[in-house]
Amino acid sequence: MKKKIAILGSTGSIGTQTLEVIEEHADKFEVEVLTANSNADLLIEQALKFKPNAVVIVDETHYKKVSEVLWEHDIKTYSGIEALAQIVEMEAIDIVLTALVGYAGLLPTINAIKAKKTIALANKETLVVAGELITKLARENQVAILPVDSEHSAIFQCLVGEFQNNIEKIYLTASGGPFRGKTRDELLNITKEQALKHPNWEMGAKITIDSATLMNKGFEVIEAKWLFNLKPEQIDVIVHPQSIIHSLVQFEDGSMKAQLGLPDMKHPIQYALSFPQRIFSKSARFNFLDYPQLTFEQPDTDTFLNLKLAYLALEKGGNLACILNAANEIAVEAFLNDKIAFLQIAAINQQCMKNVPFIEHPTLEDYIKTNELAREVALTLVD
């Protein structure tokens, strides 16, 4: 039986790589649903190739174009944000791979869990915004959340066969991004072109900026807490510029397990889809002699304040990480539109965390309202 996959955000970096994995293993996986925000041309091209049952184009102005092409091929087209949230409930879907960017991932993921679909989670923002609610819901519905993020996939792979053993701590590795080693002064006039050049990974624009500010690593710390049920002091970040060790687990006997390989997102994507099996991959193999040195450094959280803010959000809990995520989405967009400087991203995040009211035990409605309010506050700081 082939696993039937819904890819939310199929036109993005993770989405297109997921389709490559599926194409390489057409005997094991089949595409059931594809979705995009506004890239109608690529969505059409993907749909004609992979013949899903249905597609969603969120931006309604593209609905006519997509549906006119796809109806002849018996592929259903839907549009709008509600359709995106509902499509995951389709009976035939086995796995929902969430590869859309930002807060938009939250409601579709909630619906997919309620519909008892296995989640392959790339959209870390979902766990940043509402990790407590999502993991509780997944437990209640006995739904597995399988990490796609490379560090979390590494931890997950290290934990196979270890579920009865206590984790002392985990180390999330960080490349350090394009500005590793730079001082605040040197970051004053960073352009978006400089920030969009990641040394080791090709990714969408938002996560590339998040990697440059270390917000991405901060979000990954929060993501790890929820995925592996850890306390903040059990999660450490270590800068490892070569991105070969994808992350490590240290057990209570002091022994450490790491997962290694060349940086290639198709590996964690494939593992999430094929789990619990490993299946063949033709990806390039690691050669020790190409990497005679693997090096490690402490992250500089004074320069890259976002990582510190993420730990603060983790320790205080409540809606604070939701505030941080919303502020960051607005700040990154403003930076990409040349409205603010690079260092202002973290400054805006910090200001929003101070200004938006704290809620200790948020409900889903509280998260939705917090997200809206934090965006409004961040917008006032951008203009």
Instruction: Provide, rounded to whole angstroms, the least separation between the CB of residue 357 and ligand NDP.
Output: 25
Give yes or no for residue 46 binding ligand NDP (CB under 6 A): no
- Contact between 18 and ligand NDP per CB under 6 A: no
- What residues line the site for Mg ion (CB under 5 A)? 149-151
In the complex, the smallest distance separating the C-beta of residue 121 from Mg ion, rounded to whole angstroms, is 12
What does 358 interact with, of Mg ion, ligand NDP, none (CB < 5 to 8 A by kind)?
none
- Contact flags string 259-288 toward ligand NDP, x per CB under 6 A: ------x-----------------------
Tokens of 337: 């539109």
Question: Shortest approach of ligand NDP to residue 62 CB, angstroms?
Answer: 9
| Beta pairing partners, 31 | 5
Two tokens, residue 33:
């649903």
Distance (Å) of CA 223 to CA 232, 305, 311, 321 = 11, 18, 11, 11
Is 173 a binding residue for ligand NDP by CB under 6 A? The answer is no
| Other beta carbons less than 10 A from residue 181's beta carbon | 11
Pairing, β 167-174 against β 245-251: antiparallel
Residue nearest to Mg ion (CB): 149
User: Binding segment for ligand NDP among 13-21, 154-162, 177-185, 300-308 (CB under 6 A)?
Assistant: 13-21
Is 38 an interacting residue with respect to ligand NDP (CB under 6 A)?
Answer: yes
Q: Tokens 């001082």 belong to which residue?
A: 183
Burial 27-56 (b: 16+ CB within 10 A, else e): ebbbbbbbbbbebbeebbebbeebebbbbb
Choose the one of ligand NDP, Mg ion, none that binds residue 13, judging by a C-beta under 5 to 8 angstroms depending on kind: ligand NDP
Quick one: what does residue 15 bind among Mg ion, ligand NDP, none, with the CB cut-off 5 to 8 Å set by partner type? ligand NDP
Q: Are 110 and 86 in contact (CB under 8 A)?
A: no
CA dihedral of 343, 348, 351, 352, whole degrees rounded to 10: -150
Q: Which of residues 221 and 250 has its CB atom nearest to ligand NDP in the complex? A: 221
Nearer to ligand NDP, 38 or 194 (CB): 38
Q: Which of 43, 57, 53 is nearest to 11 (CA)?
A: 43
**E strand or H helix at 114, and its extent?**
helix 106-114
Run of H or E residues at 157 = helix 150-158
> In terms of CB distance, is 143 or 269 closer to ligand NDP?
269
- Residues constituting the chain: 383
Report the residue from 5, 31, 33, 36 that binds ligand NDP according to the rule CB under 6 A. 36
Which is nearer to ligand NDP, 45 or 252 (by Cβ)?
45
Among 157, 102, 141, which Cα is nearest to 124's?
Answer: 102
- Binder of ligand NDP out of 6, 15, 243, 272 (CB under 6 A): 15
Tell me whether residue 30 or residue 333 sits nearer to ligand NDP (CB atom): 333
Residue 358 gets the label, from left (phi > 0), alpha (psi -120 to 50) or beta, of beta
CA angle (38 as vertex; 32, 40 as ends), nearest 5: 65
> Is 5 a binder of ligand NDP (CB under 6 A)?
no
Rule CB under 6 A: say whether 362 interacts with ligand NDP: no
For Mg ion, the closer of residues 52 and 147 by Cβ is: 147
At closest approach, how far in Å is the CB of 80 from ligand NDP? 10
Backbone angles phi, psi at 95, to 5 degrees: -125, 130
308, 350 contact by CB (below 8 A):
no
Q: Name the strands in the sheet holding 3-8, side by side, starting at the edge strand that comes first in the sequence.
A: 76-79, 54-57, 29-36, 3-8, 95-98, 118-121, 145-147
Work out whether 149 is an interface residue with ligand NDP (CB under 6 A). Answer: yes
Residue 250 near ligand NDP by CB under 6 A: no
* Residue 104 touches ligand NDP, criterion: CB under 6 A: yes
Asked if 204 is part of the footprint of ligand NDP (rule: CB under 6 A), the reply reads: yes
For ligand NDP, the binding residues (CB under 6 A) are 9-15, 36-39, 58, 84, 99-101, 104, 122-125, 149, 201, 203-204, 206-207, 265
